[in-house]
A and B are shown apart, each in its own frame.
Chain A
Amino acid sequence: MNRGLLFCHARGMAKAGLLLLLAISISSYLVACGGTPASSGPVTLTFWSWVPNLQQAIDLFEKSHPNIKIKWQNVGSGGTEYTKLTTALKAGSGAPDVVQIEYAYLPQYILSGKLVDLSQYGANDVKDQFIPWTWAQVTSGGKVYAIPQDTGPMGLLYREDIFKKYNLPVPTTWDQYAQEAIQLHKANPKIYITDFSPSDGPWFFSLLWQAGSQPFVVNGTTLKIHLDDAAALKVANYWGNLVKSGAVSTAADWNNDWYAALQNGTLATWITAAWAPSDLEGFAPKSAGLWRVAPLPQWTAGEQASANWGGSTDAVTTQCQHPAEAAEFVKWLNTNPEAVKILTQKLYLFPSQKSALQDPSFDTANAFYGGQQVNRIFVESAQEVNTSFQWSPFQDYVFSQLQNQLASAVNGKISFEQAMHNTQNAVVAYARSQGFTVVS
């Protein structure tokens, strides 16, 4: 009796499962049929982006394009969005039509084949409007996978009051920066020149970028991986020594403690990018008027090498039913003069468009920085970004390994140099296991 019941039970469930599968397949078939574009009414595109107050630009777009409606959603910034995007792309549904992606993460989505080649919708027509290195980062093998939206050329934000009080000149080389770090911390043990956050892989990569490291050379599915090249080891040892000396703090960045430290004068500088000055006004309002900006310190005195940290692009996913309209939107958003003006002057994005850099109204004095023309420093920095820098097609993995290793180094378990070697080995092994050809 018992066994019979069990058997019926299993059979009943199998049957129910089959029925439901049938029902699902029928309904998805219906949806698929209904989904083919009838193209009579206005087209609605979903757009994931974490740029605050983007609606102003979207309103303008909808006014000039009555046939296209944009549904903007902020599903979280950076990693939070990528997790959702990767999952939705893998699942085959649920991804937005248009999506904001940072330069570093673009190659992994290009590789997955889930981004639309925009060159078939005339993307190459706007090529000349963008700073060359940004265009280099959105193209691959003659195809255009995104339109550059903003950039993050780097500079040094510093507390003028602290440097004045302890009689320190603003450092122009990394050697000088390290010396002053130790002097400053000796003069006042509560003050650190900066915070080395081992959990910020993208930030560390920008330091590698400036030092001339070339961690990846990507040629289709053949990769050169050199996360421990001479320049990378130079950067790692430099920060390793500073951390060991105790003159820099090693707390995580982007959290309340860190905001407080930037506001209350515990941190005297922030090695950061062009989008940071307006961010800083937001999370350290009480330090208004005390900050200034200077060019990034150099490895060799007299050089002008810079790098990029962050900055984003807008891409169209293959789940989009209306790629032509979506392509039109991303082109418009990042090239229309009025849209660019909103992005750069109202939303404080640092432009990827040449015209915006030359716009005189972009070069305004900023009271938070004691009336300094902040953007001027970053405009100069933008000219010095090494254009040949490349990202891996699995940058998420690289960052997470690097962060694990840097954390171990900060905790004193391994040396910083060892951290780079370990990251190199892990990434090479991962690349091989994922089917890439790794050459030296």
Chain B
Amino acid sequence: MIPSQDMAKHSQAEARQQAIEIQELAAPASRLPSALRFWRGWRRQVVIPYLFLLPFLLLFSFFLLVPLLYALWTSFFVERLIGGMTFVGWQNYQEVLRDGNFWEGVRNVLLLLFTQVPLMLGLSLLLALLLDSQIVRLKTIFRLGYFLPYAIPSVIGALLWGYLYSAHIGPFAQLAELLHWPPPPFLSAAGLLPSIANILTWQWTGYNMVILYAALQAIPPELYDAARVDGASGWEIARRIKIPLIAPALVLTVVFSIIGTLQLFNEPQIMTAIVPNLIQDHYTPNLYAYNLAFTNQQYNYAAAVSFVLGAVVFVFSYVFMLVTYRRGQR
């Protein structure tokens, strides 16, 4: 024990003792019925805090917990157009596990996860380091510029890119026509996934960059001074000081990206109007759940699909956190 901590503990105990004595002076304990005393204590420790928490708890339960539990409950039933609702237990889940359409969607988002996410986060890190370095001027303008796509609603972004990709009226196609080249195959069977990856990168690089940049700003500059005195170059400072110190922020962006990519919905939903031959109703698991519920009216099955997707998201996020945690321990 360090003496100063011991002292502090002593003085805390003393203060508490004093407080109790003052209370007893004000309202002698012997005169209060024990029930009332209990009520007072309970009120202070339980009732009042929960009263303050109530607005949050109400919103949280009615907009998150109740719908979630309701969806879970729904997923154990089957509602037929003829014959109504019957309890089927795990049957919906067994069907999802066998459903080729669902796994095709999962495969598509996993492909994006393993190609687009590393690319995007690498780009975000690079931009954040550049903005944090001494070599860039007009930082505010760059920071704002990279962040701007995130401020545009993803629906608008998808519509915009849909136009840019168009093989007939898009600017790239028109440019190609001027040069007598065939139009770039953005919206072909092979080009579609990279095209979607490009939209996602455009939209989210700036967002992730801002998170990383904020983490970089929190590093005490003394560390850089010390490193420079030791003869470290700018690149070495970045590699040996900045990146290790912002690792928690990097982990955060990866987890956010895992969740966001596996739940991809807006971009394919908008682009399905342009290339319905390629983006079918099960292109991503979320799109599949949406179409099952609102086109096929298979609400119960859609609920099961959503929960299996939730499990996939959980597994990937958890495994990633576990791996990075283990690395950190070593």
Contact = CB atoms under 8 A, between A and B. Distances in A.
Interface of A: 8, 12-13, 16-17, 20, 79, 83, 86-87, 90, 111-112, 197-199, 221, 250, 252, 254-257, 260-261, 266, 393-394, 396-397, 400, 403-404, 407, 410-411, 430, 433-436
A260 B50 CA distance: 61
B296 A411 contact: no
B246 to A, nearest CB: 32
B223 interface: no
Given A13-B65, A255-B274, A266-B168, 11 more contacts: A16-B54, A198-B277, A256-B169, A257-B167, A257-B274, A394-B81, A396-B295, A407-B277, A407-B278, A430-B296, A434-B82
The CB with the most chain A CB atoms within 10 A, among B61, B83, B168, is that of B168
A111 B276 contact: no
Contacts of A16: 54, 57-58, 61
A79 B296 CA distance: 12
Contact of B277 (A86, A90, A252, A436): A252
Interface of B: 46, 50, 54, 57-58, 61-62, 65-66, 80-83, 163, 166-169, 189, 273-278, 280-281, 291, 294-297, 299
A407 B80 CA distance: 28
Nearest to A19: B58
Contacts of B281: 400, 404
A8 B277 CA distance: 54
Nearest to A221: B82
14 contacts: A13-B61, A16-B54, A16-B57, A16-B58, A17-B66, A20-B62, A261-B168, A394-B81, A394-B297, A397-B295, A404-B281, A434-B80, A434-B81, A435-B81
Given A400-B296, A411-B189, A13 B57 contact: yes
Nearest to A406: B277
Contacts of B61: 13, 16-17
A252 B57 contact: no
B107 to A, nearest CB: 16
Contacts of B189: 411
A400 B281 CA distance: 8
Contacts of B299: 90
A438 to B, nearest CB: 12
Nearest to B46: A8
A342 to B, nearest CB: 31
Contacts of B291: 400
Given A86-B297, A393-B81, A434-B80, A407 B166 contact: no
A35 B62 CA distance: 26
